[in-house]
Amino acid sequence: LFRSDIDFEKGATMPTLSAFYNYNTRISYSDRLINTGTTIETPIGIVKENGAIVTSQFPQRTVARPLSFTEQFTQNDGQSYGLSLNIPIFNGLSVKNNIKRRQLNLKRLENQFEQTKLDLENTINQAYNNAQGSYKFYEASEKTLIARQQAFEIAKQRFEAGVMNSFDYIQSRQRYQIAASDIIRAKFDYIFKLKVLEFYFGLEL
Do the Cβ atoms of 149 and 179 come closer than 8 Å? yes
Check residues 73 and 127 and name the one with the higher pLDDT: 127
Q: In this predicted model, what pLDDT tens digit does every residue of 77-122 receive, in sequence order?
A: 667 777 776 666 655 566 667 767 777 887 888 888 899 888 888 9
Do the Cβ atoms of 13 and 79 come closer than 8 Å? no
Contacts of residue 149, defined as CB under 8 A and 6 or more positions apart, other chains included, come to 176, 179
pTM of the model: 0.49
* Cβ count within 10 A of residue 126: 13
Instruction: State the Cα–Cα distance between residues 192 and 134, nearest whole angstrom.
Output: 9
Q: In this predicted model, what pLDDT tens digit does every residue of 155-176 receive, in sequence order?
A: 999 999 999 999 999 999 999 9
Question: CA 26 → CA 23, 67, 69, 78, 158, distances in Å?
Answer: 11, 12, 10, 9, 115
Residue 178 has pLDDT above 60, yes or no: yes
pLDDT of residue 159: 93
